[in-house]
Amino acid sequence: MELDGGAISLNGGGKLTNGDLEPSLLLNGEGSGPDSPKSGEGGEGGARNAGAGSVDAGELMKKPASPLDDKLKKRVRKLSRSNSKDGVLGVAGTPNFVAPHRKWKNSRRSRNIYGRGLPKKGGAGGKGVWGKPGTEEVYDELDEDPNDPNFDIDAYNSTHNVELKEIVPQLTEAEVVKKLETVILEYFEHGDTHEVADALDDLLQTGMKPLVTKTVVAVAFDHKQSQRELTSVLISDLYGRVVTRDDICAGFDLLLANLADIMLDTPDAPHLLGNFIARAVADDCIPPKYAYQSDREDLDQHGQAALVRATTLLSMHDGWGQLDNVWGVGGALRPVQTITQQMSYLLQEYLLSRDLSEAQRSIKELEVPHFHHELIYEAIIMTLEAFNESTEVAICELFRTLDSTCIVTPEQMEQGFRRVYEDMTDIVLDIPLAYSILDRFIQRCQHAGSFLNEALIKDIPTR
């Protein structure tokens, strides 16, 4: 249908112009043509028909929408709103170059116009879908029939007739000792007894507590005096929290019974064990009567010697207070004057005995590797004061041994010699021949070994 000025063109082929209807127009099932039964009517009928024709044409232009058109419009509006949210519409509402049907092609959302936009079948539908969320592990087990000829009774019992129980694995004595050694070595580094107690609470089992004292003391046998002091402190702190008095006594009994084997690695084990027992008595960890049972028949001579050592320490007239220093004050905790005095005594004892092994042991027990330059300085001063060739030979041999065994580092050795170089102006006031004695001593050391570098030899002071 087209509207052009005062003419109306209809699909039926008729045309309505200024109220005149052509014969080919069909309205309400009736027409006015040559064959029409009403074609003979006059102008009054034509006018009436013309008026009716104009009304029907207006009704055709305002044709009401069918229910299918309403559904289509609703779907279009809903699709436009959804696409605007999903970014299909661009700036100012202009559509992006994404076809809606391509966007919805692989969507799992419902295509029903009355749906709520949820996934199809609650997320359980579609290819490669595992099912609804929450049903991943819900599978109905197939009931097995015992009367089935292929029924496997062993397989059925292995899957159905099973009772689970919590089992705590029991550690063997060797495993406990190995873990205890690791804990003790860490304790020697940090020195925190509370951390050791917490570790032992999780490790020890019933009947294993005597192994604490045995393992701690056995490990301390292979360490220095400072670690032995830490061991005595650990035993005192563990008493009453982790171990009891009976546990400590049982641990010492195990050590006394195995002293013969321990002495293969630590020859002075009876002496050291006696110190540990005396210190434990002084710390009120074990009763004093334990140390005075040196005549026990179940002990060999080494065990009895250890108890005799403990009895001797406990019977000293100065009392048990001195047992707090039974291991001495190790490392840098001592005053410098005390360390210097001990080094002087050590060197004097060596010059009298000429025992290199004893001198090495004494130097190691000082536990001051950062202060060995003082030992070198004191030894050179003794050589200059002695003015004796035998003293020069002995000190030169000591220096060569300390360098070869790496007890004294080359840096400490050089620092000790340079300290003497710097103080020669003051030393020569007391020892007039100090320059010539020092020159002769350095030449002897140069011929004895290569523990003095060339720079140190060239820097020798002269008058």
Per-residue CA distances from 295 to 270, 301, 326, 363 (Å): 15, 10, 24, 37
Read off the pLDDT of each residue in 41-61 and give the average, rounded to a whole number.
Answer: 43
Mean pLDDT of the chain: 77
Q: Is the pLDDT of residue 33 over 50?
A: no
146-159 tens-digit pLDDT: 787 887 777 777 76
Q: What local confidence, expressed as pLDDT, does residue 399 receive?
A: 94
Q: Is the pLDDT of residue 313 over 70?
A: yes
Q: Residues, the chain, total?
A: 463
pLDDT band at 85 (very low <50, low <70, confident <90, very high): very low
Query: Which sign does the torsion angle of CA 364, 367, 373, 377 carry?
Result: negative
Q: What local confidence, expressed as pLDDT, does residue 66 receive?
A: 56
Nearest to 452 by CA among 423, 417, 407, 406: 417
Q: Which of 18-32, 50-64, 122-136, 443-457 has the lowest mean pLDDT?
A: 18-32
SS (H, E, C) the chain: CEEECCEEECCCCCEEECCEECCCCEECCEECCCCCCCCCCCHHHHHHHHHHHHHHHHHHHCCCCCHHHHHHHHHHHHHHHHHHHHCCECHHHCECCCCHHHHCCCCCECCCCCCCCCEHHHHCCCCCCCCCCCCCCCCCCCCCCCCCCCCCHHHHHHHHCCCCCCCCCCCCHHHHHHHHHHHHHHHHHHCCHHHHHHHHHHHCCCCCCHHHHHHHHHHHHCCCHHHHHHHHHHHHHHECCCECHHHHHHHHHHHHHCHHHHCCCCCCHHHHHHHHHHHHHHCCCCCHHHCCCCCCCCCCHHHHHHHHHHHHHHCCCCCHHHHHHCCCCCHHHCCHHHHHHHHHHHHHHHHHHCCHHHHHHHHHHHCCHHHHHHHHHHHHHHHHHHCCHHHHHHHHHHHHHHHHCCCCCHHHHHHHHHHHHHCHHHHHHHCCCHHHHHHHHHHHHHHHCCCCCHHHHHCCCCC
Q: What local confidence, expressed as pLDDT, does residue 218 receive?
A: 94
Tokens of 234: 């650990």
Query: Which sign does the torsion angle of CA 63, 68, 73, 76 carry?
Result: negative
Q: What local confidence, expressed as pLDDT, does residue 323 receive?
A: 81
Q: What local confidence, expressed as pLDDT, does residue 8 receive?
A: 42
Read off the pLDDT of each residue in 429-433 and give the average, rounded to a whole number.
Answer: 91
Q: Are 456 and 418 spatial neighbours (Cβ–Cβ below 8 Å)? A: yes
Q: What local confidence, expressed as pLDDT, does residue 122 receive?
A: 64
Terminal-to-terminal C-alpha distance of the chain: 135
Q: What local confidence, expressed as pLDDT, does residue 194 receive?
A: 93
Of residues 405 and 137, more confidence is placed in: 405
Angle at 344 between CA 352 and CA 451, to 5 degrees: 85
Read off the pLDDT of each residue in 159-171 and give the average, rounded to a whole number.
Answer: 75
Exposed/middle/buried for residue 398 (C-beta within 10 Å: 0-12, 13-18, 19+): buried
Q: What local confidence, expressed as pLDDT, does residue 444 receive?
A: 92
Q: Which of 21-35, 73-87, 334-348, 362-376 has the lowest mean pLDDT?
A: 21-35
Residues 6+ apart with CB under 8 A from 240: none
CA dist., res. 220 & res. 259, Å (int): 14
CA dist., res. 114 & res. 295, Å (int): 103
Tokens of 443: 């030449």
CA dist., res. 235 & res. 298, Å (int): 25
SS (H, E, C) 241-275: CCECHHHHHHHHHHHHHCHHHHCCCCCCHHHHHHH
Phi, psi of 26 (to 5 degrees): -110, 120
CA dist., res. 291 & res. 316, Å (int): 14
- CA 436 to the chain's CA centroid: 62
The per-residue b/e assignment along 311-341, b for 16 or more CB within 10 angstroms, e otherwise, is bebbeeeeebeebeebbbebbeebeeeebbe
Instruction: List the domains of the chain with CATH numbers.
Output: 173-325 (1.25.40.180), 336-459 (1.25.40.180)
398-419 tens-digit pLDDT: 999 999 999 999 999 999 999 9
Tokens of 421: 């170089």
Q: Is the pLDDT of residue 171 over 90?
A: no
pTM above 0.85, yes or no: no
